[in-house]
Amino acid sequence: MHPILSERKRIFIYLSVWIGLGILFSFVLKTLSAIPAAYAAVIALPMFVVLSQLNLSAWFLAKVFPPDKSELWKLFSALAVSTLLISGIWGMLCWGWVTLLERYFSVQLFSEKTAVQFGIVVLISAQLYLLSVGLSYFFMTFETSRTAERNALELQLLAQNAELKALRMQINPHFLFNSLNSINALISRNPEKAREMTTLLADFFRKSLQFGAKEMITLGEEVSLLNNYLAIETIRFGSRLTIEQNIEPPALAVRVPPLILQPLLENAVKHGIADSLSGGTIRISAEQKNEQVFVVIENPVDDDGMKKKGIGLGLENVRRRLQTVFHDTADLQTYREGSTFRTLVYFPMNNIFAEQ
Amino acid sequence: MKAIIVDDEEPARNLVREFLSAHRNIEIIAECANGFEAVKAVTEQYPDIMFLDIQMPKLNGFEVLELLDELPAVIFVTAFDQYALKAFEVHAADYLLKPFTQERFTEALNHALKQFEHNKHYSVKNLLADVKPESEIRERILIKEGSKVLVIPVEKIDYIEAQDDYVSLRVEGKSHLKQQRLSLLEEQLPKHMFVRIHRSYILNIERIAKIELLAKDSRAALLKNGTTLPISRTGYEKLKEML
């Protein structure tokens, strides 16, 4: 659709401009050719309305030959041909219109119709056409850059959302498979326990989905998810996994991104329990101090001179999520103290999501 | 038929035990909660079939196999399907993905029994020989002494000496023998830390105190602990490049 024809307001403005040009031309005609004002207007105004319609084609030329993608010689030949065509047609129409008027009113408007006069008419329309093409290009470029800007913005938003979603759903599939295997094993030996584990697993995934769909949850909700996770891992690892918790109730109200602590706890279980022969104790604590909530997760590490692989990525994801949500008011830090690995996360107590 | 079950999760071991109970001809001689126990059990009790988890603390399933001289028929039992390819490279009889059914378990067991029949008189060492020349860089060297497994971080090694079919690793004043060729070990050690200074020696360059010129083109490395090792001409070239 032609951008001018797509809106009534634009058509009105466009026609007004051309009629204005037509009035201007009438004055020129009256002054130069000594024609009465009324006749000049009758000649010029209809012809400028016609020219306005012919000039609409300028936009199509600009569209077919976009400036950045067309070869220059093609663009210029198309421009030359269309300018000649439009101004030629208009010149002929003017000639015909004047002749018709002279016949109808039986007057002689021009003492003689010379080639020079015809040439001037053609030249004027050619200029106006070139101007139209120029303006079409100008608006097209303007429109393109605005669309590009909007697209870039939308893309950025989309990427951010996708990233958040991906980061939220980083629950380890092996956790699911190993848990299902434990259930498989428990079914005949200890059906009660199998039932318990099934419910725990269902609860865990239900909460993950439910919380994961939200922008923010309370620390209390996150902790309930963590407990669910730990209950499952306790069945899997048996006596190798011991848990100590010290969570102060006031801290539970702070709003945090969903599943922000779960990957940290999973890390702690993997490195502190699954990679260790004898297992150990995972400690979780949370406290409120000066408008901030501090969460600490501790796990034992074996000091056997072996490097642990895969610590980095999970932590980095959590750090980036914190950065996205809280900028510099929240952070994650890790410490190694002897045979204890400590992960500290702090959140602002009254964050922008607090009132939600 | 004797079988052992190796898995660090008790419920997982229980499941294999339960599924095996349907097979009267198979006796479970050991249950192991980690790789060290597995190496010990296999070395001392010679099972015919081994159910082996891959992801275990300290010593994974593949490392367990690497340490064994005589391999039973192996069925990997794991939740990790990214290891399937490697499992076939080490000629596993089958590969069970957790969780699995009794039917699938029986199928895997039959594969193992078939492989066991086939390989009865075939040296398992030969099978492993196809696999062993993997030259991935190691952070630690595994050594079996009797039924005990030693895990030695490479940075603790002073130097390694070739001795016939064995290599002798010098670590914290003690020597440990491992059945491996020196050239293969050389490929597996981190290049920035170890140099082959001689046909028979690989040296941890951090242990060098100084290099002595004995005669023209004849040099020796004096280590911080006082040991002197010969350096060949090409060895010296390599050493010069690194230092």
Exposure on the CB side of residue A113, measured as CA atoms within 13 A = 13
Report yes or no: B190 at the A interface, CB cutoff 8 Å. no
Q: List chain B residues with CB under 8 Å of A274.
A: 8, 55, 57
How far CA B183 is from CA of A299, B89, B145, B165, in Å, comes to 40, 22, 22, 11
Q: Are B38 and B68 in contact (CB under 8 A)?
A: no
Q: Are B37 and B129 in contact (CB under 8 A)?
A: no
Report yes or no: A189 at the B interface, CB cutoff 8 Å. yes
Q: Do B98 and A275 touch (CB under 8 A)?
A: no
Tokens of A249: 């109730």
Pairing of strands A340-348, A331-337: antiparallel
Report yes or no: B15 at the A interface, CB cutoff 8 Å. yes
pLDDT averaged over every residue in chain B: 87
Strand partners, B143: B150
Mean pLDDT calculated for residue range B84-99: 84
Q: Which amino acid is at A127?
A: Q
Tell me how far apart the alpha carbons of residues B6 and B61 are, in angstroms, rounded to a whole number: 9
Q: Which amino acid is at A207?
A: K
The shortest C-alpha distance from B122 to chain A (Å) reads: 34
A91-95, A287-291, B33-37, B86-90: least confidently modelled range: B86-90
| Dihedral (Cα; B186, B191, B192, B198), 10-degree rounding | 40
Secondary structure letter of residue A307 according to DSSP = P
B36 or A60: which leads in pLDDT: B36
A36 has pLDDT over 60 = yes
Q: List chain A residues with CB under 8 Å of B97.
A: 177
Mean pLDDT calculated for residue range A273-292: 92
Mutate to test the interface with B, among A175, A178, A197 (most CBs of B within 10 A): A178
Pairing of strands B73-78, B94-97: parallel
Report yes or no: B66 at the A interface, CB cutoff 8 Å. no
What is the three-class DSSP state of A163?
helix
The shortest C-alpha distance from B142 to chain A (Å) reads: 12
Q: What is the pLDDT of residues A55-93, one digit of tens each?
A: 888 888 888 888 777 788 888 888 899 999 988 888 888
How far CA A356 is from CA of A321, A340, A351, A352, B157, in Å, comes to 19, 37, 10, 8, 59
Q: Do A274 and B151 touch (CB under 8 A)?
A: no
Tell me how far apart the alpha carbons of residues A146 and A152 are, in angstroms, rounded to a whole number: 10
B121 has pLDDT over 50 = no
Q: Which of residues 196-235 of B touch A (CB under 8 A)?
A: none
What pLDDT sits at residue A143? 83
Q: Do A184 and B100 touch (CB under 8 A)?
A: yes
Nearest CB to A236; choose among B11, B55, B100: B11
What pLDDT sits at residue A109? 72
Reported in sequence order, the residue ranges of chain B that DSSP labels E, i.e. its strands, are: 2-6, 27-32, 49-52, 73-78, 94-97, 140-145, 148-153, 157-163, 166-171, 174-179, 194-198, 201-204, 208-215, 218-223, 228-231
A106 or A274: which leads in pLDDT: A274
Residue of A nearest to B17 (CA): A185
Closest residue by Cα to residue A136 from A6, A48, A4? A4
Dihedral over Cα of A222, A224, A228, A234: its sign: positive
Report yes or no: B237 at the A interface, CB cutoff 8 Å. no
Q: Which amino acid is at A303?
A: D
Q: What are phi and psi of A242, to 5 degrees?
A: -115, 145
Q: Do A185 and B15 touch (CB under 8 A)?
A: yes
The band of B136, judged by pLDDT with boundaries at 50, 70 and 90, is confident
Q: Are A160 and A168 in contact (CB under 8 A)?
A: no
Mean pLDDT calculated for residue range B43-62: 92
Residue of A nearest to B57 (CA): A275
Question: C-alpha angle with apex A23: A21 to A27, nearest 5 degrees?
Answer: 115
Tell me how far apart the alpha carbons of residues B204 and B222 are, in angstroms, rounded to a whole number: 12
Spell out the domains of chain A, with CATH numbers in brackets.
8-161 (no CATH), 170-348 (3.30.565.10)
Element of type H or E holding A249 = none
What pLDDT sits at residue A165? 60
Tell me how far apart the alpha carbons of residues B142 and B123 are, in angstroms, rounded to a whole number: 22
A284 contacts: CB under 8 Å, gap ≥ 6 = A223, A226, A243, A244, A245, A246, A247, A265, A295, A296, A297, A298
Q: Are A218 and A224 in contact (CB under 8 A)?
A: no
Q: How many residues can be counted in chain B?
A: 243
Q: Are B225 and B207 in contact (CB under 8 A)?
A: yes
The shortest C-alpha distance from A343 to chain B (Å) reads: 21
A152 has pLDDT over 60 = yes
